[in-house]
């Protein structure tokens, strides 16, 4: 009801605030007998961590994931899995100003109108720090999907107006912007440098590819796979748009151009982005997410205080120049969590279906 849970069978509930004790997640509905160790989280948590790029905030957190429940002798037990990431390095004093002023582009004003009372320190519940719990949950989701050999990759298609042109998937992991085009990546670094200098921030577009997804995931009508993925991805703070396959381009195509013809060896094109009628068709799933520039900028901005009087606000502290590329592993995690849930849902639906089909 209060929106902190996601998934029907593989169900995650995140909790925690940016400047409270920490952030965490309870995963209920994870089957037993999946290998899970503290070490499994290190790689993904590191990818989300700041500090590798000029565009990152210098706040350094170890982001160590503690397993509080649900794992015994290195395996899941079927009991709820609780993961907790303790907050460190939390100086809340720069946020005292939020006791009176609303930051433009942030949740502050809307939260105040809704709750009357909220933990504003560091953005509290609306902080991107909450996504650390999602990345941790994504690691468990990966365990559920392990036997399927699904590969999920969220790369930077566009950043600060610069678009990747030559897509080389092999370069993504090592690129500081998770960009598949080194030339574009170098320009992105320049754009980031400039924006930081000017006390401003940048947005971009992240494209997500899912390879190896079997047909059948997604439920018709409201829980169509693209609807679920749209929700999963739009639930990440900075995302303001989402499209699947040809997306907004499809609006300009004719049916004869947009339909993907079937052939004995597969679909001839993939404008559907791997989903038909809300159900995966076995082809590559293609998504694109529009990421807005992060609202925390060093420039002075117009705002109002809690009584509605006009005011100026100038945020202290240093912030990321962009949600990209730290958002990329978060989007991957959300896709992973969505697929894990739908994979288990598919298993139920196929109980009595001829398994040779």
What are the C-alpha distances in Å from 79 to residues 20, 72, 84, 133, 134? 26, 10, 16, 18, 19
For a copy of itself, the binding residues in 148-167 under the rule CB under 8 A are 158, 161
Query: Under rule CB under 8 A, which residues in 11-30 are in contact with a copy of itself?
Result: 11, 13-17, 20-24, 26, 28-30
With CB under 8 A as the contact rule, the residue among 122, 138, 180, 295 that binds a copy of itself is 295
Site for a copy of itself, residues 190 to 209, rule: CB under 8 A: 195, 200-205
CB 295 within 8 A of CB 106: yes
Applying CB under 8 A, does 260 fall inside the site for a copy of itself? yes
| DSSP notation for 98-148 | GGTBPPTTSSHHHHHHHHS----GGGGGGSGGGHHHHHHHHHHHHHHHGGG
CB of 170 to a copy of itself, least distance (A): 25
Q: Enumerate residues 125-144 that contact a copy of itself by CB under 8 A.
A: 125-126, 130
Q: Contact letters (x/-) for a copy of itself, 95-124, by CB under 8 A?
A: -------x-xxxxxxxxxxxxxxxx----x
Instruction: Say whether residue 61 binds a copy of itself (CB under 8 A).
Output: no
Least distance in Å: CB of 188 to a copy of itself? 13
CA–CA dist 213, 226 (Å, integer): 14
**Using alpha carbons only, how large is the chain's radius of gyration in Å?**
21
Shortest gap between Cβ of 112 and a copy of itself (angstroms)?
8
The answer to whether residue 82 forms part of the interface with a copy of itself (CB under 8 A) is yes
Tell me the pairing of strands 75-76 and 162-163: unpaired
Q: Compute the distance between CA of residue 199 and CA of residue 296 in angstroms, rounded to an integer.
A: 9
Kindly tell me which of 9 and 186 has the beta carbon lying closer to a copy of itself: 9
With binding defined as CB under 8 A, does residue 332 bind a copy of itself?
A: no
Choice from 55, 187, 281, 328 touching a copy of itself (CB under 8 A):
281
Non-local CB neighbours of 151 within 8 Å, separated by 6+ positions: 209, 210, 211, 212
* CA torsion through residues 289, 291, 292, 296, sign: positive
Q: Does 215 bind a copy of itself (CB under 8 A)?
A: yes
On the 0-12 / 13-18 / 19+ scale of CB atoms within 10 A, 162 is: buried
| Residue 329 sits in the site that holds a copy of itself (CB under 8 A) | no
43 lies in the binding site for a copy of itself (CB under 8 A)? no
**32 near a copy of itself, judged by CB under 8 A:** yes
């Amino acid at each position: 009801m209060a929106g902190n849970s996601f998934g029907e069978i593989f169900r995650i509930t995140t909790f925690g605030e940016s400047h409270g004790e920490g952030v965490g997640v309870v995963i209920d509905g994870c089957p037993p007998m999946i290998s899970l160790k503290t070490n499994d989280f290190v790689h993904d948590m590191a990818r989300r961590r700041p500090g590798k790029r000029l565009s990152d905030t210098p706040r350094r957190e170890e982001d160590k994931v503690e397993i509080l429940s649900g794992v015994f002798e290195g395996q899941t037990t079927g009991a709820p899995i609780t993961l907790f990431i303790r907050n460190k390095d939390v100086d809340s004093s720069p946020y005292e100003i939020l006791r009176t002023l609303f930051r433009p582009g942030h949740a502050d004003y809307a939260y105040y109108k809704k709750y009357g009372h909220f933990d504003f320190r560091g953005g509290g519940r609306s902080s991107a720090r909450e996504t650390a719990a999602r990345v941790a949950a994504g690691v468990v989701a990966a365990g559920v999907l392990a036997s399927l050999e699904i590969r999920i990759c969220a790369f930077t298609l566009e950043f600060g107006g610069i678009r990747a042109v030559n897509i080389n998937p092999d370069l993504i992991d090592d690129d500081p912007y998770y960009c598949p085009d080194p030339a574009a990546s170098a320009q992105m670094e320049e754009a980031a440098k400039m924006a930081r200098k000017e006390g401003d921030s940048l947005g971009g577009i992240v494209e997500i590819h899912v390879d190896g997804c079997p047909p059948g995931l997604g439920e018709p009508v409201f829980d169509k796979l693209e609807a679920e993925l749209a929700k999963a991805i739009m639930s990440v703070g900075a995302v303001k748009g989402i499209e699947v396959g040809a997306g907004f381009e499809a609006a300009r195509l004719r049916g004869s151009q947009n339909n993907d013809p079937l052939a004995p060896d597969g679909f001839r094109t993939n404008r559907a982005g791997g989903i038909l009628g809300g159900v995966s068709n076995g082809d590559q799933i293609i998504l694109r997410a529009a990421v807005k520039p992060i609202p925390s900028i060093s420039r002075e901005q117009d705002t109002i205080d809690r009584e509605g009087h006009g005011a100026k606000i100038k945020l202290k502290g240093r912030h990321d120049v962009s949600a990209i590329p730290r958002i990329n592993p978060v989007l991957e995690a959300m896709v992973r969590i969505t697929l894990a849930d739908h994979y288990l849902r598919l298993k139920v639906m196929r109980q009595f279906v001829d398994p040779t089909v």
